[in-house]
A and B are shown apart, each in its own frame.
Chain A
Amino acid sequence: MNLVASFARRLLAAGLILLVASVLLFAALRVLPVDPAGMSIPPAATPAEIEEARRQMGFDRALPAQYAIWLGHMLSGDFGRSVHLGRPVASLLAEAVPATVELALLAMAIAGILGLSGGLLLFVLRAEGGRGEAGEAIAETGTVLLMSVPAFLWALLFILVFGVVLEALPFTGRLDADLARPVVTGFLLLDTLLVADTAAFLSAMRHMVLPAFALGIAVAPPVMRVLGASLIDVYHSDYIRQARLRGLSETRVLLGHALRNAALPTLSVLGRHFAFLLGGSLLVEVIFSYPGMGSLMLDAVRNADLPVIQAVGLTYCAVVLAVNTVVGGLYLGLSPRPMPG
C-alpha cells in the first residue's frame, strides 16, 4: 500500500513538474528576443494566411492566453504542424521518440555494465591496502580522464577508428539501406524480432553499437566512481565490522551485505545521469545521422521551426521525468528508506 501510494505521489509530482516545465519552455521562446510568430508560420504563406494563423495561435492576445491555447492544443493531441517539413508534429514524434528511447536504453545498459565492472575494479585496486595507493591514484586519474571526453567526441573517435580506419561497423542511419524496415511498435529492435527478420535485427544492432557505446562510455565514469566510493564506505561501516565479528566469510560479506548496499546509490546515480545521457544523445544522433529526437530537434532549431521545438523539447522533458519516476520507484522497492533528494 505504502509503495503504491508513494509511486502515485511521485507520478503526480512528475506531472506537475512537466506542466511547469512547459510554462518555462513557452516563456523561453516568447520572452527572449525572437519572433515566435515568424517561426510558426510557413515562409511561403500569404498575408491573409499569416493573419489568420496569428489569430488562431493567439498572438494578438496576452501571453497567458497564448499559453492556454497552446496547452489546450497539446492536451488534445494536436501538437501542431512543422513549419519546415510540413508534416504534423505528432507523426514526426511517433517516428523519432522510439528511436531515441531505444538508443538511450541500450546506452544506459552499456553504461551500467561498464560502470559496475569499472567500479568493482576501482574498489579492488583501492582495497589492496598500502601497496595499492599508487594503483588507486592511477585508477582514479584514469577515471577522471575518461570523464573528460564528452559523448560527441567519443562518437567522432569511434567513427574514425571503427568506421573509417577499420571499416568494421556502420556509422550512419538505423538500418542498411537495402533492408526493409518493419514498423510495429516503432522500436526497431523489437519490431525486427517480432517479425522474425534476423537480417534486419542484426543490421539494426550493428548500426546501434557505435552510438550506444559512445553514449555509454561517456556516462559510465560517474557510475564507476560512485560504486567504488560506496563500496569503500560500506566496507568501513559498523555493520560490516560487526558481520566480520560474527565470523562471516569475506564472500558472504561482499555478496550478502556490501554489494547490495552499495548498489542502491549506484542506481540513483544512474537514474540521475539519464538526463545527461539524453542530452548527449542529441548530438550523437546528429553525428551518426540517426533519425531520432536529436536530429529532429536540431533541424527544427536550425530552421526556427517553433512547433517542433516546443513539442520535442517537452518530450525530452517527459522522457527524463518518466525515467526518474521509474528509477525512484525501483529505489523504493529495494530500499526500506526513501531516496535522498
Chain B
Amino acid sequence: MSWVWRWLFPRWLRSGRVMIGLALVLPVLVLAALAPLVAPHDPQAQDLMLTLQPVRLGSPFPLGTDVLGRCVLSRLLHGASLALWVAVMASLGAMLLGTALAYAAGYLGGWVDWVIGRAVDVWMSFPPVVLSLILMVGLGTGSTSVILAITLVDWTRFCRVMRAEVMLVARCEHVAAARLLGLSHWRTLLREVVPATIPLLVTLLALEMGIAVVVEAILSFVGMGVRPDQVAWGQMIADGRDALYQAPANLLAPVAAIIVTVAGFNLLGDGLRRTLDVRLVEGAR
C-alpha cells in the first residue's frame, strides 16, 4: 500500500506550504477556467434599479451589486479568469525570455555574459511598476498588452536569479567532463546543466504568477490595463473605492481574491523551493 501513498504524495508535495498553496490556487484556477459557466450573471449586465445591493448569500446576487447594478460575484469570477490568464501567459513569457538569456550568459560566459548582465542592470534600475506603465503607454490597453508588458519587465527577475544558478552548475566538473567525453555544447547544456536548474525554475515560476496577478491588478486599477469592456479585479477595486460606505463588498471581495491568489502562489513557490531542493540535498548526504 505504500506505493499508493508514494504515488499520491510524491516527495515534492510533502510540505505543508505546498499543500496549502495548492489548496488556495487550485480552486481559484478551476473557478477561473469555468467562470463563464459558473458565474450567475453576465458580468457586464447592468441593472440600474438594483445598484449597490448588500451581500446576501441566498439571493440572486450573493455578493451584491456594484454602482451600475452589475453582479459582484460574476465580475469576481470573470476577473479571476482574466487575472489567471494574464498571470500564466506573462509568467511563461518572462520565464522563457529570462531563462534563455540566463543560460546563454551563464554557460557561454565572456562578453555574452557581460552584455546580458549590463542589460539586466539597466532594466532593473527602473522600478518595475514604472516601467510597465511606460510600456503600456506604448502598447495600448488590452490583456495582450498587459501580458507583453509584464514579460518585458519581469524577464530580468528570472535572468538574474537563474544566471547565478547556471553559473554555479556550469562550473561543476561534470559539465567539463561531458565536454571532454565528446558531447556537443547543446547536449551538455541540456543534459548536465538544465536538469539541475529546474527546481529553481519551477519555484520562480510559481512566485512570478503571484507577482503577475498583482501587476495586472495595479495596471487595471489605474485604468492602464485591460480594456473597459473586460473585467479585472483592479478595476473592481477602483470602482469599489467609491462605493465603500454603501457596499463594502465591492472593495473587499476583489481585495480578498487578490490576497488569496497571491498568497497561494507564494506559499506554493516557497514550499516547492524547499521540497525540490531538499530532495537533492538529502540525496547528497
Contacts and interface: CB of A to CB of B under 8 A. Distances in A.
Q: A and B: partners? A: yes
Interface of A: 17-18, 20-21, 24-25, 28-29, 31-34, 137, 140-141, 144-145, 147-150, 152-153, 156-157, 160, 164, 275-276, 278-280, 282-283, 286, 297-298, 301-302, 304, 309, 313, 316-317, 320-321, 324, 341
Q: Does more than half of chain B's interface fall in helix, strand or loop, or is it mixed?
A: helix
B125 A18 contact: yes
A280 B214 CA distance: 11
Given A150-B262, A157-B255, A304 B125 contact: no
B130 A156 contact: no
B45 interface: no
Given A20-B118, A32-B137, 9 more contacts: A28-B138, A141-B17, A148-B259, A150-B217, A275-B125, A279-B130, A283-B221, A302-B224, A341-B164
Given A144-B17, A276-B128, A282-B127, A156 B263 contact: no
Interface in B243-285: 244-245, 248, 251, 255, 258-259, 262-263, 266-267, 270
A29 B135 CA distance: 8
Given A156-B241, A276-B127, A341-B164, A32 B259 contact: no
Contacts of A313: 126, 130-131, 134
B109 interface: no
A107 to B, nearest CB: 13
Contacts of B244: 160, 164
Contacts of A144: 17, 263, 266-267, 270
- Top 5 nearest A-B pairs (CB, nearest first) are A32-B138, A279-B127, A279-B129, A148-B263, A148-B262
A301 B137 contact: yes
Contacts of B245: 164
B117 to A, nearest CB: 9
Given A29-B138, A152-B221, A282-B129, A17 B122 contact: yes
A338 B117 CA distance: 18
B218 interface: yes
A276 B153 CA distance: 13
Given A29-B138, A148-B259, A276-B127, A17 B222 contact: no
Contacts of B251: 156, 160
Interface string B158-171: 00100010000000
Interface string B114-158: 000010011111111111011111111000000000000000000
Contacts of A31: 138
Interface string B183-223: 00000000000000000000000000010001001100111
A91 to B, nearest CB: 21
B237 interface: yes
Nearest to A25: B134
Residue of B123, B138, B248 with highest tally of chain A CB at under 10 A: B138
Given A150-B214, A279-B129, A301-B224, A32 B135 contact: yes
A153 B118 CA distance: 33
B222 A286 contact: yes
A297 B126 contact: no
Contacts of B89: none
A31 B138 CA distance: 8
Contacts of A140: 17, 270
A140 B121 CA distance: 30
Contacts of A33: 138-140
A91 B262 CA distance: 39
B20 interface: yes
A20 B122 contact: yes
Contact of B133 (A150, A276, A297): A297
B190 to A, nearest CB: 27
Residue of B134, B138, B160, B255 with highest tally of chain A CB at under 10 A: B134
Contacts of B123: 24
A156 B17 contact: no
B265 to A, nearest CB: 8
Given A304-B137, A316-B126, A317-B126, A283 B222 contact: yes
Interface string B9-25: 00000001100100000
10 contacts: A24-B123, A28-B134, A34-B138, A141-B267, A280-B127, A282-B130, A298-B133, A301-B224, A313-B131, A316-B127
A32 B152 CA distance: 13
Contacts of A317: 125-126
